[in-house]
Amino acid sequence: QLPFPFLPRHLTLVGSLSIGIPAFFLALSPMSERARPAFLRRVLTFAVPTGLFAGTATFATYAVARLSLGASLAEARTAATFTLLAFGLVVLAHLARPLTPAHQMLIGLLAGCGVLTVVVPEIRRFFELDVPSLPLTLVAIGSLALAAQALDLVERVRRWGPITERLLDGER
């Protein structure tokens, strides 16, 4: 039986760096796009697969860490936290398109803050994190890459949806 992969402070870290802080700054940036209809459908067709990919990548990393690599609980929790945080930043980069220099700087700063939580010993102790081993880091990177590719594939299929509908409507 596996213990829960996060402490509340881990979720605070992930939520702050991938949702809260970026939402504040992105809300202040000018929008040239007008509101479009079908908001709920667009949100759900993005959020549901994205959440599944985030959860799968995070828990796969955690399970491999604990069950296959024999990582400590702190090390496995660190890997799970950073898999989720990194995927959150991938999603942020996806949603912040077009990636202006300001958006790139924001995402880079948030990623840098995430790295600092492991590099600076006092912050690492506060968040109860541990530096993961190289094999565990590679597992986390691999599951992150798979989740990012899955997200990209879903987005490509989603973009083809309206084109397919128009083609099919034209054939009727």
Q: What is the pLDDT of residue 157?
A: 85
Residues 22-43, mean pLDDT to the nearest whole number = 83
d(CA 59, CA 81): 10
Helical H segments across 7-133, by residue range: 8-15, 21-28, 39-63, 73-95, 101-119, 121-126
What is the value of pTM for the model shown? 0.89
Closest CA to 84 of 56, 109, 103: 56
Q: What is the pLDDT of residue 41?
A: 85
Tell me the average pLDDT of the chain.
91
d(CA 21, CA 13): 11
How do the domains of the chain map onto residue ranges?
A: 8-25+38-171
**Contact present, 88 and 14 (Cβ < 8 Å):** yes
**Contact present, 129 and 118 (Cβ < 8 Å):** yes
Cis amide bond preceding 98, omega within 30 = yes
